[in-house]
Amino acid sequence: MTKTRRNRAWYGKTDRDGFIHRSWMKNQGFPDHVFDGRPVIGICNTWSEFTPCNSGLRELAEGVKRGVWEAGGFPVEFPVMSLGETQMKPTAMLFRNLLAMDVEESVRAYGMDGVVLLGGCDKTTPGQLMGAASVDLPTIVVSAGPMLNGKWKGRDIGSGTDVWKFSEAVRAGEMTLQDFMAAESGMSRSKGVCMTMGTASTMASLVEAMGMSLPLNAALPAVDSRRMALAHMTGRRIVEMVEEDLKFSDVATRASFENAILANAAVGGSTNAVVHLLAIAGRLDIELSLDDFEIGSEVPLLVNCMPSGQYLMEDFAYAGGMPVVLKELAPLLRPARTIMGGEISAYAEGAECYNDDVIRPLANPLKPASGVRVLRGNLAPDGAIIKPSAASPHLLEHEGEALVFESIEDFKANIDREDLAVTPDTVLVLKGCGPKGYPGMPEVGNMPIPARLVKQGVRDMVRISDARMSGTAFGTVVLHVAPEAQAGGPLALVHTGDRVRLSAKDGKLELLVDAAELERRRVAWRPDPPRYTRGYAKLYFDHVMQADRGADLDFLVGKDTRPVTRESH
């Protein structure tokens, strides 16, 4: 028995409502026969000139449309909010859940049978996935693709990663401002997302590892003609998925999330993947916790890309991309279905590595262990995370005195003071930058090193916060401390001079202050008043969950697949 397509409730009626739905669409030049019941495919586009990473998505949408038409479907493009990480204030992460709401309500309200998600910049992909998961139609992702390698003075430079290095070099007097500005012009040479293994490229890689896109989606450069061909083939495939009734939840299973965690370790992926995967799983009612990320803690680092390695995404593409990584990970991967209908193992069939320094074999990894480590202790009872592959090995086991900054404003005002009481062994502690505290949990966890230490050649220190950090960043940085300071977590009680102990090996983060003293501080502590009192920011503040729950809004967890029943006219 053939399932009645969803779009028939919009375009299949012969009454007044059917007249209105069809007639208004016809003002765009669509003929009668496209309303004959064929699959209607929504193309969910986050294109925006304010989101440079996504500025090529208008062209890719045309590629998807070609494929949909060819397969006998009816493509309809629609816009949703676009989140430009490098452009938005206070932080794009504040609006990830708003984008998810936009996607969910648009997909639910319009008469589509399946949806292609066009995203790129790092919050757009998880936001779109969260929204689409909550409606659970057949769904495929097409990523914007990375920029071409940055070029400066005859060498490759990487977005984000080299920015942090250059910035510190200027502060240390090792790089001129003139050179700094010249590097700026060579950094971003084409449309596309960061060409380092930042959050955007990480999420595109994990989408591929979860089987939610066609093979090679993650690494093909944005301006490579093969990405347009991939968009075309995606358009064909989404029509077939509607015919097969292959839904989001049929592909995104517990096993596929575990594969994403394993892949994140192998590619040296962003710590932001943790909070995003937790949120997406929550939309599907899949039990995924912070502790589940420990399955990646012993996975070797295979992809030699910045910030954990040497190369860039363009090199990763030419070396063979994610299919090669999945081939190497085959002994570890869980059996899981993909949007192609078969097992994830099919993505690796025929994969060949063309540069084994860019994609290392399991027998010769870049580093023996790469995954995110989960930390717990009296400073982070609900957990915190660290990325050992981007940290200084000698700092992964460390004890030192805390230097506390109560807010990002406090930090910026004081970090470059020449009389700052700080040594290389000091632990920098930043409060007030969690989901509620900022609000929005910004990428400020990789705090710049104090100026007086930078001039002495110090380039890394232990840093602890309830914030996130860019996937392009590096350093011995403890992130996502939960509960956050604004929510009354123990981080709020740390004082300058307290001793803090970090053990990445044992997964420990301890504040070495006796319980009685901490209780005295807790009684005296008061949260900061909310920074925003109206609009979406207030809604977010009132309902956002902590980092260990994915920082989603509490009322959006789960999905709603009920049909839309009330008529609009």
In this structure, the strands spanning 40-45 and 74-79 are parallel
Return the pLDDT at 3: 74
Residues 121 and 54: beta-carbon distance below 8 Å? yes
On the question of pLDDT at 552 being above 80, the answer is yes
On the question of pLDDT at 520 being above 80, the answer is yes
- Alpha-carbon separation of residue 204 from 97, 161, 357, 431, 535 (angstroms): 19, 18, 21, 31, 31
**DSSP three-state, residue 75:** strand
Question: Mean per-residue pLDDT for 415-433?
Answer: 97
> Does residue 424 have a cis peptide bond before it, meaning omega lies within 30 degrees of 0?
no
On the question of pLDDT at 1 being above 50, the answer is no
In sequence order, what are the beta bridge partners of 500?
Answer: 400, 511
pLDDT tens, 361-380? 999 999 998 889 999 999 99
Query: In sequence order, what are the residues at sequence separation of 6 or more whose Cβ sits closer than 8 angstroms to the Cβ of residue 533?
Result: none
% of the chain with per-residue pLDDT over 90 = 91
Query: In sequence order, what are the residues at sequence separation of 6 or more whose Cβ sits closer than 8 angstroms to the Cβ of residue 293?
Result: 261, 274, 371, 372, 374, 385
d(CA 97, CA 91): 12
DSSP string, 262-320: HHHHHHT--THHHHHHHHHHHHTT----GGGGGGGTT--B-B-BTTTSSB-HHHHHHHT
Amino acid at residue number 12: G
pLDDT tens, 294-348? 999 889 999 999 999 999 999 999 999 999 999 999 999 999 999 999 999 999 9
CATH class of 373-528: alpha beta
Model's pTM, two decimal places? 0.96
**DSSP three-state, residue 326:** helix
On the question of pLDDT at 208 being above 80, the answer is yes
pLDDT tens, 429-470? 999 999 999 999 999 999 999 999 999 999 999 999 999 998
On the question of pLDDT at 152 being above 50, the answer is yes
On the question of pLDDT at 8 being above 60, the answer is yes
pLDDT tens, 271-291? 999 999 999 999 999 999 999
* Lookup result for tokens 């839309």: 564
Give the torsion sign (CA, 380, 385, 391, 393): positive
d(CA 78, CA 170): 44
d(CA 527, CA 219): 44
- Per-residue pLDDT band at 34 (split at 50, 70, 90): very high
DSSP string, 128-188: HHHHHHTTT--EEEEE--BPPPEEETTEEE-TTHHHHHHHHHHHTTSS-HHHHHHHHHHH-
User: In whole numbers, what is the pLDDT of the chain averaged over residues?
Assistant: 95
In sequence order, what are the beta bridge partners of 79?
Answer: 45
Q: What is the CA radius of gyration of the chain?
A: 24
Q: φ and ψ at 540, to 5 degrees?
A: -60, -50
Structural domain boundaries in the chain: 150-188, 373-528
pLDDT tens, 173-197? 899 999 999 999 899 999 999 999 9
Question: Mean per-residue pLDDT for 33-46?
Answer: 97
